[in-house]
Chains A and B, each alone.
Chain A
Amino acid sequence: MTDIFELLKGKGSEKQPVIVQGITGKFGTRHTNLMIEYGTNIVAGVTPGKGGQKFEDSVPIYETAKEAVDATGAKISIMFVPAKFFLGAAKDALEAGIKLLIAIPEHVPVQDAMKTIELAKQKGAIMIGPNTPGVMIPDLIKIGIMPASPFKFGNVAVLSKSGTLLYEISNNLSTSGFGQCITLGIGGDPINGTRLIDAFDMVKDYPNLDGIVVVGEIGGDAEEVFAQKIIDENFKKPIVAYVAGRKAPKEKRMGHAGAIVMGNYGSAESKIAMFSKANIPVAKRPVEVPILLAGKMEKK
């Protein structure tokens, strides 16, 4: 298991170098600037056809991820490439030796995501996403598109399928005194490089962990499998969940490619029932999350 905290924090005082694939697009440019502003160490960009140029007169741009990695030694890449070119760019990064791939693009075909995951496994790398807002350790590193304001450093891990709900719920946690040691977007797609259970494995042994908040939504069975794992491992730290889409119609994609109920597969009822079996309270509204978490912590 790759230690995500070690990978994000790096060793010693040097900040972990990060490259940006698709750095010159409108979206990539904007968020690269915001990440730099947050203090993330962006060392290189990749945009085919623009190799040799510089981003904002300072960050060198390369033709391929291989050139960028060779020049900088970066192990982390954040991708802003269009979904159609995702598979090619992901292969380029993984072949170049990237160990943590943050896949921002939405609308990546499922088969392309599955192929990327296969390759990542072979290379001993992790992909977070696609369709993720990214990952961050508040006050230290932000690799993603989340705004900075909702997050404060602390000891709660937040794992979320949704982007804006991650911001909303983290903001509720922060204002209630629950800072975060890590916040990680699983992504809203049917196939996730880092599944909810994988994300749990990444954070469960964090020494100062006080609790975990899971922000789920309809579709698939990630929440059910997660709850079963909590039961199987007899994990005792407080966990609180939220499930979006309780009142959504069946067999309709609700914005996210993965947010769809087919029969009972993916239904909110199924998820809430499993959470309850694992003794994980489920908030009805985002504002209830910190209240339930505080309740769980008192009981402990």
Chain B
Amino acid sequence: MRLLEYQAKELFKEYDIRIPDSIASKDIESGRKDAEKIGYPFVIKAQVPVGGRGKAGGIQKCHNEDEFELKYPQVLNMTIKGEKTRAILLEKMSEYEKEIYLSLFLNRSKRCYTIISSAEGGVEIESVKNQTIREVGLGEVTKKVAEEVAKEIGLKENSIPHFVDILQKLSKLTVEKEAELTEINPLVILKDGSMMALDGKMMTDDNSNFRHKELAKYQEKTELEKMAEESGFSLVELDGNVAVIGNGAGLVMSTLDMLTDNGGKAACFLDVGGTATTESVYEALTLISKMKNVKAVLVNLYGGIVKTSIVASAFLKAYDDKIIVLPVFARLMGAESEKSKEMLKDSETKLSPSIEEAINNVVMEVNK
């Protein structure tokens, strides 16, 4: 899961990585109390699970109550790159000399953790110059390695021990919480050479959630996502009007790509798992029926082990049970496709022999 800044910072605090005074809130009433505690001036920071919020206006300086009353609701109601603000972090402004970059990430091709650091931070990682990259295996970063990185990025003597301390703590956090990424950007150097994490980003391994009950409180799931999880599906909600269902992540992504290429807009990505069954397709249609703004459903199933006629019966059942009234455009690949076609002949489900044809039909339907 992707932790919000304030959540990552709570963990930083727990691991004794210095952060500025800050308090998170979800409504203006609590925000007002936080503002009193922190004291002006401070920054209002939108908590969104996506990068680039600064440019989008999600970080605002605030010098007095009038500004607060104006800016707090403004930032709280913001949508950045399709993501609504989840919370607001009020944070004391800090005076510092320099911004640097530090992260630990799971290096997938080298199959180990890797440190990235640079004396030039504060911009998105793609724009960070003079990166020092160091592979560190499966374990925690040793003092020796941390010192080498500190020297390589050219830190002054008085900052080195602080950097080593933070990097070691960050690696402990990364390994213990089974994170795929922990990033401090910027990590700032104060006048006395000490350091503080001004921002925090963490991505944990969802597959290790069962070992991390302590992180469960950070899990923010919509009702639909919860439903999908209970059925063993993967759901990503999007802002179009065609619900995309398929079996297998690659196949659903591929369907989404082709739909978009042809001018369609997906309302969701719904992967029912590698093997499509009557139950899974019925449950998927039930889930779709609860989504807003969906005008049509696009289904791409690669059968193989399960006969398509078995899957076809799920559509019929969904209409009979009045679960769904939307038109469905489907391509069912596999055994007994002729029989399936016959079964669905008079229903709201239009079968196509190819996914391309199904996509053309669904795009025509939603544009009519």
Contacts and interface: CB of A to CB of B under 8 A. Distances in A.
Interface residues of A, number: 65
Interface string B228-245: 000000101010000000
A190 B248 CA distance: 16
A151 B362 CA distance: 30
B82 A249 contact: yes
Interface stretch (B6-14, B27-35, B207-215, B336-344): B207-215
What DSSP secondary structure best describes chain A's contact surface?
Answer: loop
A111 B236 CA distance: 25
B165 to A, nearest CB: 24
A147 B250 contact: no
A166 B303 CA distance: 13
A164 interface: yes
B356 A220 contact: no
Contact of B238 (A34, A109, A195, A249): A249
A225 B205 CA distance: 23
A82 to B, nearest CB: 10
A163 B250 contact: yes
Given A83-B207, A167-B304, A255 B108 contact: no
B354 interface: yes
Nearest to B208: A109
B207 A109 contact: yes
Point out which of B106, B181, B257 has the most chain A C-beta atoms below 10 A from its C-beta.
Answer: B257
Contacts of B258: 284-285
A117 B304 CA distance: 31
B287 interface: no
A95 B152 CA distance: 41
Contacts of A244: 250-251, 253-254, 257
Interface string B287-316: 000000000000000111100000000000
A255 B256 contact: no
Given A110-B205, A285-B356, A162 B210 contact: no
Contacts of B238: 249
B180 interface: yes
Interface in B173-210: 175, 178, 180-181, 203, 205-208, 210
Contacts of A146: 304
Contacts of A225: 109
B261 interface: yes
B261 A247 contact: yes
Contacts of A197: 109
Nearest to A247: B260
Interface stretch (A17-25, A48-56, A206-214, A256-264): A256-264
Contact of B138 (A115, A165, A215, A259): A115
A150 B304 CA distance: 8
Point out which of A147, A253, A255 has the most chain B C-beta atoms below 10 A from its C-beta.
Answer: A255
Nearest to A286: B254
Given A133-B274, A188-B250, A191-B108, A255 B138 contact: no
A168 B253 contact: no
Nearest to B259: A247
B252 A255 contact: yes
B2 interface: yes
Contact of B108 (A84, A164, A221): A221
B208 A259 contact: no
B207 A110 contact: yes
Contacts of A158: none
A83 B206 CA distance: 12
Contacts of B180: 110, 190
B178 A110 contact: yes
B333 A168 contact: yes
Nearest to B255: A244
A246 interface: yes
B169 to A, nearest CB: 19
Contacts of B106: 110, 190-191
B210 A84 contact: yes
Nearest to B303: A147
Contact of A253 (B206, B260, B305, B333): B206
Given A133-B274, A255-B234, A114 B138 contact: yes
A77 B124 CA distance: 44
B234 A253 contact: yes
B56 to A, nearest CB: 14
Nearest to A225: B109
A222 interface: yes
17 contacts: A111-B205, A147-B304, A162-B248, A164-B248, A215-B250, A221-B109, A222-B109, A244-B251, A246-B260, A248-B236, A249-B82, A249-B238, A251-B2, A251-B51, A255-B249, A258-B108, A262-B181
Q: Which 10 A-B pairs have the closest CB atoms?
A: A162-B250, A255-B249, A147-B304, A164-B248, A165-B250, A109-B208, A247-B260, A220-B108, A255-B271, A244-B253
